[in-house]
């Protein structure tokens, strides 16, 4: 590669990484809020919360990487044009391949990154996140052992402890049980401990009382005890094994799921749609590169308006990806549409590539550019008239 090509590639790489980091931070913040309630309500630590949210980052990076590359392409090519660098390269007699080559190299690198994320890294992260979510939901001790708070274990059963000392001992227990319609039980104990015995999960309370109030006569009876075991086994969720969705499965699992897999047997269309979506996603950075280069790869003077070309490139790229998302939703109902997931970006690459190779600008591109120039001139004239009227009114 020439010095100029390496220069363009470095600028594209830097712009892509900065844009990807910025978008990933914003998207991560929004996704983290979805897990915040689960983690805080289950008594998890901030370290566990950050770890769980970071497991989803490869999937989020996969979703935003093509758009980060799109923004980086537009910014770099527009900056090269505004700084007259494209004009100088064109005046020196260099062909368009001097600019096209680093753009294609960057597009291929981003496509490889998307391929790694979609086929390997992102599913592994989502599967690990599913495991963590399942573990948190079935962690009975974490669900109820939160000092100073009244925790509803299930409807009608409230648990409270004053403090949790060393070695898992619970101090100052209070448990209110009104699940039965004809009686209300209130347990109080000085100490307690959650133990596993005979395949049962028991809350063993010591030095306490049981207050029993019946619904018929509203009388209260109090029983004191030295030791009392309350069975918690029925409150542990039975689904201790995670059920992985289509996006959380490996590529091999999507190709040949286990015969005993209930989810795969119930939703085979979702697995098929996910498989083809993963394989087609790396094509979009290449399509975005071809579209943006078609509109912004030509040198232009500072007097020429490039706003229309920027908006057209951005709009067509977003429209292309939106069409891909829309087609993906139709694959489960119409499996034949799965081939459209590949044809859509490939068609964009082929059409834009043909126009670039032959040095031809399609008529609809010229029409959009002409329409945008007219709109820009009209807006400039309108702004000038408003400024002039404001100045006359002030005078």
Q: For residue 227, list its beta bridge partners.
A: 206
Q: Exposed, middle or buried: residue 336 (CB in 10 Å: 0-12, 13-18, 19+)?
A: exposed
Confidence of residue 367 (pLDDT cuts 50, 70, 90): low
Q: Exposed, middle or buried: residue 84 (CB in 10 Å: 0-12, 13-18, 19+)?
A: middle
As given in the structure block, the two tokens for residue 185 are 């039980």
Judge contact between 25 and 33, C-beta under 8 A.
no
Q: Where are the alpha helices (DSSP H) in the chain?
A: 3-41, 46-55, 57-82, 85-91, 97-116, 122-138, 140-144, 251-255, 262-266, 268-280, 283-296, 307-330, 340-357, 363-394
Angstrom distance (rounded) from CA 161 to CA 142: 13
Judge contact between 106 and 15, C-beta under 8 A.
no
**In this predicted model, what pLDDT tens digit does every residue of 136-195 receive, in sequence order?**
655 555 556 667 778 777 778 888 888 877 566 788 888 888 888 788 889 999 988 877
pTM passes above 0.75:
no
Angstrom distance (rounded) from CA 16 to CA 23: 10
**In this predicted model, what pLDDT tens digit does every residue of 248-283 receive, in sequence order?**
888 888 888 888 878 888 888 888 888 899 999 999
- Give me the mean pLDDT over the 110-116 stretch: 94
In three-state secondary structure terms, 37 is helix
What is the model's pLDDT at position 45?
Answer: 59
Angstrom distance (rounded) from CA 285 to CA 386: 43
Tallying the residues shown for the chain, one arrives at: 395
Percent of the residues in the chain that have a pLDDT greater than 70, as a whole number: 78
What is the model's pLDDT at position 51?
Answer: 76
**In this predicted model, what pLDDT tens digit does every residue of 70-109 receive, in sequence order?**
999 999 988 887 777 777 776 776 677 788 889 999 999 9
Angstrom distance (rounded) from CA 107 to CA 356: 16
Residue with structure tokens 């029983």?
Answer: 223
**In this predicted model, what pLDDT tens digit does every residue of 45-67 receive, in sequence order?**
566 677 777 888 898 899 899 99
CA distances from 303 to 80, 81, 84, 299 (A): 15, 11, 11, 12
214-228, 318-332, 359-373: segment of lowest average pLDDT: 359-373
**In this predicted model, what pLDDT tens digit does every residue of 193-208 receive, in sequence order?**
877 777 777 888 999 9
């Amino acid at each position: 590669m020439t010095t100029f090509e390496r220069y363009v590639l470095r600028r594209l790489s830097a712009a892509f990484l900065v844009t990807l980091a910025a978008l990933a931070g914003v998207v991560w913040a929004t996704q983290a809020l979805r897990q915040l309630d689960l983690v805080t309500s289950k008594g998890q630590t901030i370290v566990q919360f950050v770890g769980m949210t970071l497991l989803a980052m490869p999937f989020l990076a996969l979703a935003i990487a093509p758009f980060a590359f799109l923004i980086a392409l537009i910014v770099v090519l527009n900056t090269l044009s505004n700084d007259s660098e494209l004009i100088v390269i064109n005046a020196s007699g260099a062909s368009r391949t001097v600019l096209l080559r680093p753009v294609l190299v960057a597009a291929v690198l981003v496509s490889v990154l998307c391929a790694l994320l979609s086929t390997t890294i992102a599913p592994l992260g989502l599967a690990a996140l599913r495991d963590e979510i399942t573990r948190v939901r079935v962690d009975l001790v974490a669900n109820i052992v939160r000092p100073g708070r009244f925790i509803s274990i299930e409807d009608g059963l409230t648990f409270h402890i004053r403090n949790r000392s060393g070695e898992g001992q619970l101090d100052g227990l209070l448990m209110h049980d009104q699940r039965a319609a004809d009686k209300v039980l209130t347990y109080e104990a000085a100490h307690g401990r959650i133990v596993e015995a005979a395949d049962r999960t028991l809350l063993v309370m010591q030095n306490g009382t049981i207050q029993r109030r019946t619904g018929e006569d509203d009388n209260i009876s109090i029983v004191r005890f030295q030791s009392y075991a309350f069975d918690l086994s029925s409150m542990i969720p039975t689904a201790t094994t995670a059920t992985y969705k289509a996006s959380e499965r490996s590529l091999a699992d999507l190709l040949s799921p286990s015969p005993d897999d209930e989810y795969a047997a119930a939703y085979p269309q979702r697995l098929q749609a996910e498989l083809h979506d993963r394989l087609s996603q790396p094509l979009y950075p290449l399509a975005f590169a071809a579209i943006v280069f078609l509109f912004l790869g030509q040198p232009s003077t500072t007097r020429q308006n490039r706003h229309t070309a920027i908006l057209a490139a951005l709009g067509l790229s977003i429209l292309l990806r939106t069409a891909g998302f829309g087609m993906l939703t139709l694959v489960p109902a119409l499996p034949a549409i799965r081939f459209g997931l590949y044809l859509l970006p490939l068609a964009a690459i082929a059409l834009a590539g043909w126009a670039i190779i032959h040095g031809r600008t399609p008529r609809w591109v010229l029409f959009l550019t002409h329409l945008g120039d007219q709109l820009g001139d009209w807006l400039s004239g309108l702004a000038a008239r408003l400024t002039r009227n404001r100045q006359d009114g002030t005078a």
